[in-house]
Amino acid sequence: MATEAELAELRKRSREAWDRADYPPLGERLMPAARELVEACAVSAGQEVLDVGAGTGNVAAVAAAEGARAVASDFAPEQVARGRARTEAEGLDVEWVVAGVEDLPFEDGRFDAVLSVFGAMFAPRPERAASELFRVLRPGGVVGMANWGDRGFQGEFFQVLRRYQPPVPDGVPLPVLWGDEAVVQERFEGLAGRVSVETRTLPWRFGSFEEMGELFQRSGPRPPEPPPEEQVQALIDEVRSIVERHNQATDGSVRIDAEYSLVVARKRG
Ligand SMILES: C[S@@+](CC[C@H](N)C(=O)[O-])C[C@H]1O[C@@H](n2cnc3c(N)ncnc32)[C@H](O)[C@@H]1O
């Protein structure tokens, strides 16, 4: 099993990699998932809503535009700075907090809804993350997650990516397990009443594979040093072959509907 020191090192590496990303262009691409999750959780004016692993605050922005009081949190300080600049520029009233999902600095039962789009799923201790999401939620409130799974285009993409990344400590579950309904049910056991898990799709649309590759490289988490050129090329070649298998377009553009799991769970009253 991973030690606390190993987990802390893993979180630090991940946080710094997100800090180095030029994230906003990728965040814009994830907006459809934020809209779907906010709608599925019936977020409405007057509610207090927490966006966890908020990036540049898509969920918080959609919730604030609905008239909710939105708080956005992310463990990467640069993401929080980018998110704050974004919501200010959009004239939205969002409170920003630097915080990891496994240790949320909010009192018990504060929020009406606690939502995370492709954020909380990356915490190395999922049981701890689940317990924190529900702890800060009022009884009867709703936890919503958009989670990538180990299936379809995105599952294969993460399988390849893992082979090019440093190994994670023993006993840290794959983030994509959050896309599996049985795993979600087990992790929410005793925390949630009814849990619903639905498959949705995120539209990846690009003029070409090169445009897609450029966005993922620029806006995804970045290692401290650029990897050797031949390694980058090998990764690009592998991703290209996954894209070719899943691409529905035949004119040189990219059109992939990437499956994810949309989770809605109500806290026991
Ligand atoms: C793929 S981005 C998604 C961001 C945003 N939710 C969106 O939809 O655009 C993942 C985000 O989760 C954050 N993150 C990853 N692990 C985290 C953790 N353990 N605690 C808090 N935030 C985390 C990263 O800093 C990054 O901003």
CA of 240 to the centre of ligand 1 (A): 25
Mean predicted lDDT score pLDDT of the chain = 97
Print the domain residue range for 101: 4-151+167-202+259-267
Ligand 1, pocket-test mutation among 12, 13, 15, most atoms within 8 A of CB: 15
Half-sphere exposure of 71 (CA within 13 A, CB side): 19
C-alpha closest to that of 31 among 8, 50, 57 = 57
pLDDT of residue 214: 96
- Ligand 1 atom nearest 122 alpha carbon: 16
For atom 4 of ligand 1, which residue has the closest CA? 55
| 41-80 burial code (b ≥16 CB/10 A, e <16) | bebeeebbbbbbbbbbbbbbbbbbebebbbbbbbbbebbb
pLDDT tens per residue, range 136-178: 999 999 999 999 999 999 999 999 999 999 999 999 999 999 9
Residue 269 pLDDT more than 90? Answer: no
Residue 232 pLDDT more than 90? Answer: yes
CATH code of the domain containing 122: 3.40.50.150
Q: Does residue 107 form part of some domain?
A: yes
**Tally of structural domains, the chain:** 1
Q: Does residue 252 form part of some domain?
A: no
Q: Does residue 94 form part of some domain?
A: yes
Ligand 1, pocket-test mutation among 49, 52, 122, 262, most atoms within 8 A of CB: 122
CA of 118 to the centre of ligand 1 (A): 7
For atom 14 of ligand 1, which residue has the closest CA? 53
Mean pLDDT, to the nearest integer, of 216-223?
96
Residue 105 pLDDT more than 90? Answer: yes
Phi, psi (rounded to 5 degrees) for 142: -125, 135
Q: Does residue 182 form part of some domain?
A: yes
pLDDT of residue 1: 87
CA of 222 to the centre of ligand 1 (A): 14
Q: Does residue 156 form part of some domain?
A: no
For atom 10 of ligand 1, which residue has the closest CA? 119
State percent of the chain over pLDDT 70.
100
Give the pTM: 0.98
pLDDT of residue 213: 96
Q: Is 221 in the pocket of ligand 1 (CB under 6 A)?
A: no
pLDDT tens per residue, range 180-200: 999 999 999 999 999 999 999
Q: Does residue 188 form part of some domain?
A: yes
Please tell me the distance from the alpha carbon of residue 245 to that of residue 127, in angstroms, as a whole number. Answer: 35
pLDDT tens per residue, range 27-48: 999 999 999 999 999 999 999 9
Q: Is 179 in the pocket of ligand 1 (CB under 6 A)?
A: no
